[in-house]
Amino acid sequence: MRLVRKDFPILNRHIDGKPLIYLDSTATSLKPQMVLDAMDGYYASYSANVFRGIYKISERATSCYESARERIARFIGAKKKDEIIFTRGTDESISLLYYSWALPHVKADDTIVTTIMEHHSNFVPWQQLTKSKGVTLKIWTTDANGELNLKDLDSLITRKTKLLALTAVSNVLGTVNPIQKIIGIVKKLNPACLVLVDAAQAAPHMAIDVQAWGADFIAFSSHKMLGPTGFGVLWGRRELLEDMPVFNFGGDMIKEVHRDSTVFADLPHKFEAGTPHIAGAIGLGAAVDYLSGLGMDAVREHEIEITSYALGKLSEIRGLSIVGPREAICRGGVIAFTMGGLHPHDIAQILDEDNICIRVGFHCAQPLHEYLSIGATARASFYIYTQKTDIDALVLGLHRVKKLLG
């Protein structure tokens, strides 16, 4: 994947005379020129609103906007583009389900299951249902290796279970969950139990197929997969989406409005009120094209190679403890770690002196850190533009940290 680096303008620049070592792709990915050009092209050449403009540039904007929806649908194996709901990101996609599916459907004697490794966006909404609806929330915990035991599903999933909400890939542990196998077990135990998959860390890094998975809903974000910030996707089975009430009110999500009644638009537009993030859709469409051109199997192979190299190099640093599975094949391109008694913020600040960018904190997964009985962690994460020399720079930087702080 070394050749792709030329496609990312930010990697061709120096900051204070030093190259950028970007190891925070789990938080947000860098953007290739192809995506930047697609978005700039909209703003520079046909910057008009979509759907109702009866003039050329508006019709072009509408065509490009809906074309992006169609390509995104193909990218994840959706049957129809109308199952693709545009949102502001994974957080809003899951919040949409909270308001439009959970609140109307769950009741006090229902159960929802989630996992200890979830991002807050797929944990807090279901936690709140225990307060607003009195539902029971069960939390599926991991073993010492950071992996879920599928045998636990026999006790977690009952006839009262309304929803299983889980991540495909942990943004801290790196654990890649066997989603298709999990869903198969869940549907046998309770066919009526719906499954929501947080695919924010999966869609950018590996081939996914919502039909093969057997999921009911999936959510993911544009900015983690080479696209713009402030844009995301909710996919759902059509019959479920059609049954759900609208999420926001405003323009473009209605067919007719009268003094005493309103007729809402069909899917997907009934969930997309107001002027949408048109450039965001066009940018994500271009990102999907870029990734499809590389091939998601090749993307995953590169990630495994880089992660394996990083695991080996980091394991050689005395006092450094890695969180999650030890084998690269079992994890995504993310490694969270601690270094003895050193504070992660101090580690990151020293690394930043050499333009080495990592993430520190709880990574929006504080319940997981509490479960593991650890404080904040440092996190390095990788993507298609990451090369072994980036890992070497990180390791050298961490040795410098130990020398200064140890």
Query: Could you tell me the two tokens for 149?
Result: 């035991």
Note whether 257 and 199 are same-domain residues. yes
Q: What is the pLDDT of residues 193-238, one digit of tens each?
A: 999 999 999 999 999 999 999 999 999 999 999 999 999 999 999 9
Is position 30 within any domain? no
Do 158 and 199 share a structural domain? yes
Measured at the CA of 137, the angle between CA 96 and CA 88, to 5 degrees, comes to 20
Work out the average pLDDT over 16-30.
96
Closest CA to 100 of 78, 85, 116: 85
Report whether pLDDT(23) > 70.
yes
Domain count, the chain: 2
In a 3-state reduction of DSSP, which class is residue 149?
coil
CATH number for the domain spanning 386: value is 3.90.1150.10
* pLDDT for the residue 3: 78
Q: Is the pLDDT of residue 406 over 90?
A: no
Over residues 25-40, mean pLDDT: 98
> Looking at the structure, do residues 257 and 300 belong to the same domain, yes or no?
no
Catalytic residue (one of 64, 193, 357, 364)? 364
Average pLDDT on 365-369 reads 98
CB 307 within 8 A of CB 333: yes
Closest-CA residue to 284 (of 8, 29, 94): 29
Domain that holds residue 207: 37-292
Point out the least confidently predicted range of 75-84, 117-126, 245-254, 343-352: 245-254
Cα 48 from Cα 58, distance rounded (Å): 5
Element at 87 (helix H, strand E) = strand 84-87
DSSP letter at 230? S
**Confidence at residue 251, expressed as pLDDT on a 0 to 100 scale:** 86
Report which secondary-structure segment, H or E, holds 75: helix 56-76
Decide if pLDDT at 16 tops 80. yes
Q: How far lies 397's CA from each of 125, 307, 336, 357, 400, in Å?
A: 39, 18, 16, 11, 5
Q: In the prediction, which pLDDT does 52 show?
A: 84
pLDDT of residue 379 exceeding 80: yes
- Give the per-residue pLDDT at 252: 85
What pTM, to 2 d.p., does this model score? 0.96
**CA 327 – CA 143 distance, rounded (Å):** 15
Q: What is the pLDDT of residue 1?
A: 64
**Would residue 364 show up in a list of annotated catalytic residues for this protein?**
yes
Separation of alpha carbons 200 and 162, rounded Å: 22
2 has pLDDT over 70: no
